[in-house]
Amino acid sequence: MIILCGLLVSTFAFATENEATLNSDYHLRSSAKKQSRVSTPVSLPDALTAGIYQQDIDHSGLLAGQTFSQRYWVDSEYASSPADKAPVIYHICGEGDATQGYFLNDNAIEWAKTLGAHLVYLEHRYYGQSLPFPDLSSDHMQYLTLDNVLADLAGFQQWISTQQGWQGKWISVGGSYSATLSAIYRYTHPELVVGALAASAPMYSGPNTPEGTQSDLNDASSTDPSSDTGDRQWVYQACTTFAFWQTDETTIYDPSTWLCQQLFGNNVTLADSNAYNQKYEVPFISNSASSPTNILFTYGSADIWTTIGISQQENANPDITIWTINGAGHHFDLNAPTATDSADVLAARQEFVTLAQQWLGVN
């Protein structure tokens, strides 16, 4: 079983052996994939510096004054001079420990070199060591909401900009689930980020193929975050917000009502896919004054998750770009560069550079 997407994860359909090695799949229903999942920290850039931000547990005020320690990292080795005017690539981390997989060591580094940008990474609440509570009980999981995640991004961005004295423009970057966050963050906070890359972003809620087995239940039952793999947190998000969950490479599943209630109780509020799509999917493909702008959506033609991405056929929004990468799997353009990268992957990466320069107002 496991989780949907995110940078840490890669759900791809047809990858080469080398590409598969780079992309431990975190959302395939496959015991072999689960056993090979990345479980140890990877080599991190020498210039990366770590920090802790005291983040509000709930941004609606229900737990006023209560905070948790949220991890972040900054890499300024490629920032152009003067550093306070340099742009910032805001690398949104998804559903996993940010020091594992390749959240902190992918192609965003190459883009920072090209754009002369700072790189900033923020670990997702409830994952890794950014834990609001010492356990993952149902009562404590209620603050794992999309609104809180977006408010985390905004609050931290404003804080670190002030702390560092940065005045440059920001661009958000994400892959898979964190690509969904990147797109929605640009939509909801255009005053904070001038553009966004959403690599392989699932944007449509409710594949309407519910599933949940005893094995899934066992995988997501642990409430101890020290021994948890992120299963429980992602199932909670899928149950209550997104409905898209995992794949067997041919079908995308949403968690069944049975599974959600077994894990989180009969009173858990299940995702309303229609309401979600009206709020977060329809605006992206509409041609209206309130539709989002300056977003590059990239999708692999060999990626099952492309089927619930932003569709070019349905798109009426002239202010977003949708780029299909022939033969590519899940967010291959965001992966760390290799000598075997195809011309199509390289072209997608260059498209981001071209658009980013336009968003930043530079040559």
361: Cβ–Cβ under 8 A, 6 or more apart, which residues?
169
Residue 10 lies in a domain: no
Q: What is the mean pLDDT of residues 306-323?
A: 96
Range of the domain at 285: 17-360
Q: What is the mean pLDDT of residues 60-84?
A: 96
What is the predicted pLDDT for the residue at 27? 62
What is the predicted pLDDT for the residue at 335? 95
Express each pLDDT in 97-145 by its tens digit.
999 877 898 999 999 999 999 999 999 999 999 999 999 999 999 999 9
Q: What are phi and psi of 293, to 5 degrees?
A: -130, 170
Residue 2 lies in a domain: no
Express each pLDDT in 133-184 by its tens digit.
999 999 999 999 999 999 999 999 999 999 999 999 999 999 999 999 999 9
Residue entry with tokens 């299940």: 270
C-alpha 237/C-alpha 240 separation (Å) is: 5
Of 90-104, 244-258, 300-314, minimum mean pLDDT range: 90-104
Express each pLDDT in 202-217 by its tens digit.
999 999 999 999 999 9
The first and second tokens of residue 158, run together, are 């404003």
- Residue 229 pLDDT grade (very low, low, confident, very high; cuts 50, 70, 90): confident
Q: Identify any residues that bridge with 254 across adjacent strands, giving them in sequence order.
A: 210
For residue 17, is pLDDT > 60?
no
Residue 143 lies in a domain: yes
For residue 13, is pLDDT > 60?
no
For residue 20, is pLDDT > 90?
no
Q: What is the mean pLDDT of residues 316-327?
A: 97
Residue 8 lies in a domain: no
Query: What is the share, in percent, of the chain residues with pLDDT greater than 90?
Result: 83
For residue 43, is pLDDT > 60?
yes
Residue 137 lies in a domain: yes
CATH code of 29's domain: 3.40.50.1820
Give the chain's mean pLDDT: 89
DSSP string over 85-129: GS-EEEEE--SS-TTSTTTTSSTHHHHHHHHT-EEEEEPPTTSTT
DSSP H or E run through 300: strand 295-300
Q: What is the mean pLDDT of residues 290-309?
A: 97
The first and second tokens of residue 33, run together, are 């994939």
Residue 266 lies in a domain: yes
What is the predicted pLDDT for the residue at 14? 32
For residue 10, is pLDDT > 60?
no
What is the predicted pLDDT for the residue at 28? 58
What is the predicted pLDDT for the residue at 327? 96
What is the predicted pLDDT for the residue at 42? 66
Residue 156 lies in a domain: yes
Total domain count, the chain: 1
What is the predicted pLDDT for the residue at 330? 95
What is the predicted pLDDT for the residue at 226? 81
What is the predicted pLDDT for the residue at 30? 44
What is the predicted pLDDT for the residue at 249? 85
Residue 4 lies in a domain: no
Q: What is the mean pLDDT of residues 269-280?
A: 97
- DSSP H helices, 201-286, are 214-219, 231-237, 257-264, 273-280, 282-285
Q: Identify any residues that bridge with 92 across adjacent strands, giving them in sequence order.
A: 122
